[in-house]
Amino acid sequence: MHRFANPARFLRIARAVTPWLVLPGLAITAAALYIGLFASPPDYQQGDSVRIMYVHVPAAWLGSGGYLGLAIASLTALVWRHPLANVAGRAIALPGALFTAICLVSGSLWGKPTWGTYWVWDARLTSMLVLLFLYLGYLALSAAESDRPEARGAAILSLVGTINLPIIKYSVEWWNTLHQGPSITVTKNAIAPEMLLPLLLSVAGFSLLFAGIVLMRMRTELATTRVAVRSRRLAEAHA
């Protein structure tokens, strides 16, 4: 893992990999949204409002999957002191929070025509809102710690928050909720194939875009740090 500890080496690899994530990500997302929004059938119960699924589900997946990535980056920073780990954590947190917010908003807009309400405080909706707050807490704390590289508060906060991930996942099984149970598990799939195709494409496309955005954000932070270091050296040389 410390093979990538050298930022110059990481930057070289990240620069080469980024277009291979972003370009297929854009193409697959566009195809998924076209099929999902126009070329796939309506649902037998919900009609056309089922199409919100093709945005809601990838957003939920990237909100919670992104948080797992943030937690792994924080663990790596705390235990192995990997120089890029907190950079990765900060790069993940903002798009992760954004996708969590998209999940909450799209779910709310989906809830009105199907359930008859924009919001209820059931276990799934509440735990997903807590996930957004955890992201915002991490973002605020890591911004407050930005001038102290040795600070560990944000990383510890994100690790404590991992307790929320199984709660989100199993909320619909542990408690009675308005939100329905999982459609896809290891043993069953309750989504018709012509609707599953755009859903899986959309999850894949948004995931590639997410990974590309994270790499771009890491490169940006490393470049910003380098500029700051150089201008400080220049200022000292002229002083």
Give the interface with another protein as residue ranges (CB under 8 A): 41-46, 50, 53, 75, 78-81, 113-117, 120-123, 159-160, 162-163, 167, 174-178, 180-183, 190-192, 194-195
Indicate the residue among 90 and 124 with the shorter CB distance to another protein.
124
- As measured in angstroms, the least distance from the Cβ of 111 to another protein is 9
Indicate the residue among 69 and 212 with the shorter CB distance to another protein.
69
Indicate the residue among 78 and 141 with the shorter CB distance to another protein.
78
Indicate the residue among 136 and 196 with the shorter CB distance to another protein.
196
- As measured in angstroms, the least distance from the Cβ of 15 to another protein is 30
Indicate the residue among 67 and 210 with the shorter CB distance to another protein.
67
AA letter at 210: F
Indicate the residue among 26 and 120 with the shorter CB distance to another protein.
120
The answer to whether 158 and 71 have CB atoms below 8 angstroms apart is: yes
- As measured in angstroms, the least distance from the Cβ of 179 to another protein is 8
Longest dimension (CA), the chain: 74
User: Cα separation of 192 and 73, whole Å?
Assistant: 37
- Of 102, 169, 164, 161, which is closest to residue 137 (Cα–Cα)? 161
Inter-CA distances, 138 with 71, 114, 132, Å = 11, 34, 10
CA 92 vs. chain centroid, Å, equals 7
Structure tokens at 70: 């943030």
Q: Which DSSP category does 41 fall into?
A: P
- As measured in angstroms, the least distance from the Cβ of 16 to another protein is 30
The dihedral over CA atoms of 61, 65, 67, 68, expressed in degrees to the nearest 10, equals 160
AA letter at 225: T
The answer to whether 185 and 4 have CB atoms below 8 angstroms apart is: no
- As measured in angstroms, the least distance from the Cβ of 227 to another protein is 32
- As measured in angstroms, the least distance from the Cβ of 85 to another protein is 13
Residue with token string 């755009």: 198
- As measured in angstroms, the least distance from the Cβ of 2 to another protein is 11
Q: Which helix (H) or strand (E) holds 121?
A: none
Indicate the residue among 56 and 219 with the shorter CB distance to another protein.
56
